[in-house]
Structure formats: C-alpha cells, structure tokens
Structure 1
Amino acid sequence: MLNGKRVRRFSVVLGIMAGMASLAGCGQGAPESKTEVELVSYKPEAVKAFEEIAERFNASHDDIHLTIDSPNEAMTILKTRFIREDYPDIVGIGGDINYSNFLDAELFMDISDLEEVTEVKQSYLDMDKKLEFIPQEGIYALPYAANAAGILYNKDMFEEHGWEIPGTWDEFTALCNEIKSNGIQPLYLGYKDTWTCYAPWNALAVGLSDADTCSQVNMGNTTFTESYREVAEKMQVLLDYAEPNPYAYGYNDACTAFARGQSAMYPIGSYAIPQIKSVNPSMNIDSFTFPANASEEENVLNSGIDLQFSVMKNCENKEAVYEVLRFLYEDETIQIYLDDQGGIACKEGDFQIPAELEGMRSYIENDRMADYQDHHYPSEMSVDAMIQTFLLDTQEGAADRFLERFDKEWKRYNRDLIWKIQQYRQETEGVD
C-alpha cells in the first residue's frame, strides 16, 4: 500500500476522482482461460498502432490476452487509479518528471532480469538513471521510442542557395547572417506558446551543460547561474534571427510559416514534423543537431525517451507481462510503432531513421545523445514561462536576473527533494 506521504504526493488529483470512470483493473476482462495483461499508455495519438500491436499479440498467444488503453488525459487517470490502488500491469509513459515521481513512490518493479534490457541503447538507460531522485539499484523501465530536437531546415531552399550545414556556433550565426542578406528569414520561433521556448533551450543546454546539471544543483555542487549562463546568452542571440515579435505567434503559426517557406530553419523537435507536413505534405525537410559549441566534437544531440514501459510493482502476472514486453521489443513490433509515430528506436539495431532526421544519423548511430533538461524540471516551477519572460526583458542584466531567479525558484519548488538528497548523501557518503 502507499503510505501517507505517497498518497499526499498524488493528492492533487483527488478533486477529479468523483464521477471519473476508471479503466479495467489488473486481471479483468480476459476470457477465463487466459491471463489478462493490461497496458495503459499516455499516448492517445498512437492508438492505431497499439490496436494493431494488441491484435497481433492476441492472435499469436492462446494463453494471454493483451488490452492496450490509450485514453485522453492518461496521466491524470493513472494518478487517480494509483490512489485507488487500482493498478494496470504495465504503464507506457515518457522519460520525464512523472516517471521520476512514480519511481520515487516505489510503484515500479525492477525488470533487470528481463533480457531485452540488454538491447537498449546505453544513452537511454543512462537517461532513466539520471531521472532517479535517489540512486536505485536495478532497471525500472524499458525505453521504447525516442524523439530528437535540433534544427529542422528547408532542404530545397538550402540546396538552391548552396548553404552549408553548420557544425559550430560561429558557423551557425554566420549562416543566419548569410540567409538574412538574401532577404530570407533564418528562423521561426513561435514563442507565444511558452512551451516552445523549451525547444531551442533544451537543444542548446545538452551541448553547453552537463546531462546531470539538475542533480548536481540538488547536491549543492553547482548553480544554474554557473551552468546555464551560456545557454541563456545564446537564447538571446537567436532573437536576432527570428520573426519580428515571436511572442505574437504560437506553435501552429510557426509550423505553418516554416511549411510555407517563410523561414529557412525552425528550431524544434521531430514531433513537429507531422504538423508541418499537414500544411505542406511535399515539403523536403531535413535536420541537424544544434551546433551549440565552438567545435563540432562537443555537440550533443538532444534526444529524449518519448515512450517507455514500466511494470507495476504489485503485478501478479509477471511471467505473462514479460511475454508482452518481449513481444513489444521484437523488431517488427517496434517498426509498426515507428511507422505510425515516427521517431527513433531506443533498441540497438538496424531500424529505419525517418528521412527528416537523416542529418542527425551519425549522432544517433554513435549514441551521442543527452536528455531534455526540462524532463527534470518540476511542472509547478513553469520554467518555460520564466524563459519567455527573460527573453522579453530587453533591459541590461536580463540574463543575471533570470539566472538568479532560476536558482531561487529551484530551491523553492525542490525544497523537499533537496533535503531528501542531502539526507541520503549524509547516510551513504558521510557528506555534511
């Protein structure tokens, strides 16, 4: 059972419990001769792929019946079910702060004995480890599919003008100036929707700061003022190459503008490609890793786990659940998902990379990747809005004020976590 502390962790959703119809619980809904395995995924946009996967699994297994639900507001539903102790067998979630919170609440099973974990690209295993508030023994998720963020560019436009793909920050700004000299908008940002500020922020941060920056801050080894200064300063530089008043245009506006050739580049993740293609299906898009550094060798691709599977700790059907995970991790099954949703396979192997991510191939194949920094930010802190406010500040010292606020707000919203980490270090390492 969840103790009082863990119940309080999810108390934010108690107000919506009344009247909410819960999904079927573990072990319900299967024919009597079969073991029922229930998987709840947080990705309703992938329901078509999951329907095909479940159909294939059930057609090939006489003793197990798999049900995959991908409801709207899945995270809210899951939190409500966890409070009720009405657990599915498997959850499909992203590699973000929700995973960290659920793991910290001791809800997930250690799946180290599942052979398939040895087939996961090391970068993605490392990402999950960095999401642990307190270091855990074992493996608690099977990374499945990832996305990537950097710079999308209009390939036809680049070829027409003979523009070269930049490998360093200086080459990138020189390219932007060359594009401007041709009377073309280099970038579209669309910062009206505050979350879009995260796209270039994360892509810059993975190259300019350590992957465990947030953990190091929690341990008192550094500050955001120290670690994020160059990130903040380069975010300001991007404004020189963006559309006038980017705060007047949102995500859909930016996707549409880029699709219509109103900018040569768009700093965003691969998740935007379907939206762009919905406006211009024939657009020739490619991408490159954000050249944040003074040398190409220092650059890192911003890639995060978009979907991974965790097994609930109290599940009674481990053998059947493992059979489901093995099926999900077959190459053919993974390709069904990728064909529908795009992205990158977290499994080692010869998987097709979308044509729009071809420019990132060497980083993907050589495992030169790091997670989105915002996957470690508490949602209550609203860092995206803080970034937008900072970029709107045209007064001298804006970066100093922003970074000082970042450190102050971090301590405010992570007070309990910081205390917990300090206690852990005192107990295990003798740190005062």
Structure 2
Amino acid sequence: MRNRSKWIFCMGLAFTMAATTVLSGCSLGKKDSGKTEIELVQYKPEAVKAFEKMEEKFNATHDDIHLTIESPNDAMTVLKTRFIREDNPDIIGIGGEVSYSNFLDSDMLMDISDYQGLDSIKDAYKEIDKALEFVPEDGVYAVPYVANAAGILYNKDMFEEHGWQIPTTWDEFMDLCEEIKAAGILPLYFGFKDTWTCLAPWNSIAVDLAPADVCRQVNKGETTFTEEYKEAADRMLELLPYGPDDPFAYDYNGACTAFANGESAMYPIGSYAIPQIQSVNPDMNIDSFVTPASNDPSENKLNSGIDLQFCVMNDCENKEAAYEVLDFLLEDENIQTYLDDQKAVPCKEGDFTLPETLDGMKEYIKEGKMADYQDHYYPSEMAVDAQIQTFLMKKDEDAFLKKFDKDWIRYNRDIIRKVQDYEKKQEKGEN
C-alpha cells in the first residue's frame, strides 16, 4: 500500500515536469573525487550564505566525504521533479509541514531511529514531527534543526517611551491597542495584500484556542472546524480596527517597511520577518511577545514550528556518511551560525545565544510551552490563506467556517479514509 501511495504521489506531481524541463543546476550528479559523495538539497534560499559557510567548513575538515549543498530558489518544485526522475539527493532540508507528511506517507524517507543525534533534540519538536504523521508510524524520519516563532513583534523604544506594558490576556491586548490608538499611533500593521501573511496572526491565535491536534480530530470525525475555530475567527475580526484603514493595501514587504519606519507600534508576524525589517532599519530595537489569544494566561502558548529539518532519503546508499553530515550540522557552532544568520530558534538542547528580538519569548522556548502552526496540516490545494483573506474582507464568519469544513473533506478525502481505517483497526486490536 505504501508503494502504491508513492506511485500516486509521484503521478500527482507529474505536472511539475512540464514547468521544469529546463532546470539548470538541479542535479550536479556524482563527482568523481574518490570520496563518498553526499548531496543535500535544502529549501531555504535566504539561508544560502550560512549553508555555503557550512559546506566549505565540512569539506575542509573531512578527508573521506565530500558534501554538496544545493539551495535552489524553488526547492520543493525541484525536489518533486527529481523524485519523479528518481534522481534523489541523499538528504533533504525541508519544513515541518504537510509536504513532509506527504513525503513520509509516500515511503520516501529513511527511518533514522538509530541516529544518536536525535537524543539532543528537544522533545517538543520531536512531538511536533510525530503529530505531522497522517497515521502513527513506527520510527523517526526527520531531525528537527531550527524553528521559528510567530506572535507580536513590537517597537521596543516606542513601548518604553510611552510606558506600555506587555499583555498576558486577550482583554489586556485589546486594552493596549486602545491605549496606543489614543496616543495617535497605529497599533498594528498588516501585509494582508499577500494572502499568506493572513496565516501569521491566524496561527498564533488558533494555537491558544483550538486543540493542537484539531486536524486529526476532524479527520477522525470527532469534531468540526466550525466548532473549534469560531473563537479564533472572532479574534481575527477584532484585530482589524487596530490596523490601517485598508488592511489589504500593503504586501509583506510593504508592511515590513512600514513597521521598520515606525508607522505602527506592533506587527503580528513571525520571527522570519525580522531580517527583512532590519534590512530597512538596521538600528530598530525590536522585541516580541506571544499572542495572548486566551483570557487565561496559562492557556497561551508560543506558536513555534519546525522551520528546517533534515531527512535522509530512503534510497540513500551511504547512510553512515549521511549521519556524519548530520552530526556536523548539529554541532553547536554550526547551529549558532544559522541562528545568527536567520534569527531562528534551535531545536537542539543547549546553551545557544538567541537573538534579542526573541527576548519576550525565551521563557516559552525554555519551558517548551509551544504548539505547531495550524496551517502546517492544511493541504496547499485548499488555499486557506486566501480563504482567511476573503473572510476578513467580507466578515462573513459562518460562510468562512462552513467552507472550511466542506473544503477540508474535499481535499483530504483519502487521508480521512486512511485515518478512519486505522482507527477501526486499532479498535479491533489489529496492527
């Protein structure tokens, strides 16, 4: 059945071949260096400089292995095309989201349970990966490397000047927005012209108000999104009066620029936006806090997901060499290089220097009080980001939630069937 899933998965990706028939540099092939060749393809082109440093350092310190790291601009398309051609790299660097779930379900990833480096990874991130499995799998298939965090970025100098306090509940947050507005300052900026930015506040609100495994519960037929997401939808609408008159006028880059230029006190977005903001205003004093979507502070969690993890492909011929590459990447010095470059959160236990821009979230990171992005479970075909944007434009909550439930069944029919078959077998005591 798993091999059939792989065939269906690859056939479903065949359309990418037409769009990528001329892909220069997608596969360098195996070099005749006399060394064991390991190729890693990772999906974050913005981190190319950090990976170039690590590639150079690895090859300078290893006599028997040569490492090639590819960082293409459209890595997921490149990877899927290579999978169809059966031209797989040895290791892939991808995010902890539904693409990982699909690769795993298609039997493309190696079980790396015997990899000792997993012992150093924080349990919270290993649990996030397990939750991404459509049905529970035996084994471990990824090494979480770094995470990001979504919440509220704020202008620290502006807050100190006015004496504004960091809120710990939703009511306090709304009161803060009113206080900022009364001071003649725009509380929030949005980049909702780009649909994907609508997911940032949605995710950081939903993790406090909906079960972390809400998608699995829906697949099992135990609840609906209409029931579980109503309060999150209410909160999204409550944000709008505290942003620009037209929250859809600016895209992500425009919103980052406006916040960098002091046009708002806060910006509901992920830590991944910090390098972009600082490229506009390098001297900006930025800090962050967890979105307090609940009025019970104990219910509020840091919205943190696996931004980059490494998976060994099932057909990798040099497992020991691949593990040696993973060991190198997990060295504290190399993780710190990545953290400094990308303002990220380490998935590994250790004494790492986190960027000051995450000071307000460090307590949650230290305690492991976090939950994954809800959209990491959404199929791309469902276009939830566009659905949220339409909802915010029309403000028709009932229509939004009904469509969410309807589309979920439409785009997850096979997965729902698979989950329910699994549950029936568990009830019968079958493996």
Q: Name the TM tier (shorter chain).
A: over 0.9
Q: Is the 2:338–2:344 Cα contact (8 Å) retained in structure 1?
A: no
Residue 18 of structure 1 is matched in structure 2 by 21
Q: In structure 1, how many angstroms separate the alpha carbons of the residues matched to 2:36 and 2:320?
A: 10
2:290 paired residue number? 289
Q: TM-score, normalised by structure 1?
A: 0.96
> For each residue in 1:266-312, what CA deviation from the matched residue of structure 2 results, as whole angstroms up to 9, or x when unmatched?
00001111111111111111000001111211100001111100000
Matched, 1:416 2:414: yes
Please say if 1:407 is aligned against 2:405: yes
Residue 392 of structure 2: aligned partner: 391
Cα distance in 2 for residues equivalent to 1:176 and 1:41: 40
Assess if the C-alpha contact under 8 Å between 1:146 and 1:303 holds in 2.
yes
Superposition deviation, residue 17 in structure 1: 4.3
Matched letter for residue 16 of structure 2: V
SS in structure 1 at match of 2:408:
helix
The CA deviation at 1:333 is 1.1
Runs of 4+ with deviation above 6 angstroms: none
**Contact 1:41/1:91 (8 A) holds in 2:** yes
Q: Counterparts in 2 of 1:25-40, with a 5 A limit? A: 28-32=30-34, 34-40=35-41
**Over residues 73-100 of structure 1, what are the superposed CA-to-partner deviations in whole Å (9 max), with x where a residue is unaligned?**
1111110110111111000011111111
SS at match of 1:247: coil
Please say if residues 87 and 312 of structure 1, whose CA atoms lie closer than 8 Å, have aligned partners that are also in contact. Answer: yes
d(CA) in 2 for partners of 1:372 and 1:74? Answer: 21
Counterparts in 2 of 1:364-379, with a 5 A limit?
Answer: 364-379=365-380
For residues 168-217 of structure 1, the C-alpha deviation after alignment (integer angstroms, 9 at most, x for no partner) is 01110011111111111111112111111001000001111111111111
Structure 1 letter corresponding to 2:262: G
Could you tell me whether the CA contact under 8 Å between 1:25 and 1:87 is conserved in 2?
A: no
Q: Between 299-308 and 417-426, report the one with greater CA deviation.
A: 417-426
In 2 relative to 1, CA 193–40 (structure 1 residues): closer, same or farther, beyond 3 Å? same
Tell me, yes or no, if structure 1 residue 347 matches structure 2 residue 366. no
The aligned amino acid for 2:121 is V
Indicate if the aligned counterparts of 2:340 and 2:355 stay in contact, CA closer than 8 A: no
CA drift of 1:326 comes to 0.7
Alignment of 1:1-400 (within 5 A): 4-21=7-24, 23-24=26-27, 28-32=30-34, 34-394=35-395, 398-400=396-398
Deviations 1:367-409 (A, max 9, x none): 0111111111111111111111111114xxx211111111011
Aligned-pair distance for 1:112? 0.9
Q: Distance in 1 between matches of 2:124 and 2:233?
A: 25
Residue 313 of structure 1: SS of its match in structure 2?
coil
Per-residue CA distance 1:52-93 (angstroms, 9 max, x = gap): 111111111111111111111111111011011111100001
SS of equivalent residue, structure 1 residue 211? coil
Q: Deviations over 1:215-260 (max 9, x none)?
A: 1111111100111010000000001211101111111121111111
Aligned residues: 426
SS of match in other structure, 1:102? helix
Distance in 1 (alpha carbons) for counterparts of 2:305 and 2:7: 32
Cα distance in 2 between the residues matched to 1:110 and 1:147: 25
CA contact (8 A) 1:30 1:65 kept: no
Unpaired segments of 5 or more residues in structure 2? none
Residue 343 of structure 2 aligns with an amino acid whose one-letter code is: G
Structure 2: how far apart are the matches of 1:276 and 1:19?
A: 35
Instruction: Give secondary structure in 2 for the equivalent of 1:334.
Output: helix
Structure 2 distance, partners of 1:140, 1:128, is: 9
d(CA) in 2 for partners of 1:393, 1:6 = 36
Cα contact 2:382–2:411 (8 A) shared by 1: yes
For normalisation by structure 2, the TM-score amounts to 0.96
Contact 1:300 1:368 (C-alpha < 8 Å) held by counterparts: yes
**Corresponding residue SS for 1:66:** strand
**Unaligned 5+ residue runs, structure 1?**
none
Q: Deviations over 1:24-62 (max 9, x none)?
A: 367x11412x10111111111111111111111111111
What's 1:426 paired with? 424
- 8 Å contact from structure 1 (residues 145, 344) kept in 2: yes
Task: Determine helix, strand or coil for the equivalent of 2:78.
Answer: helix
- Given that 1:147 and 1:303 are in contact with CA atoms closer than 8 Å, whether structure 2 keeps it comes out as yes
Contact 1:37 1:320 in 2 (8 A): yes
Cα distance in 2, alignment partners of residues 139 and 4 from structure 1: 22
Matched residue SS, 1:268: strand
Contact 1:22/1:81, CA 8 A, preserved across alignment: no
Q: What displacement does 1:428 show?
A: 2.9
Cα RMSD of the aligned pairs, angstroms, is: 1.4
Query: What is the percent sequence identity of the aligned residues?
Result: 62
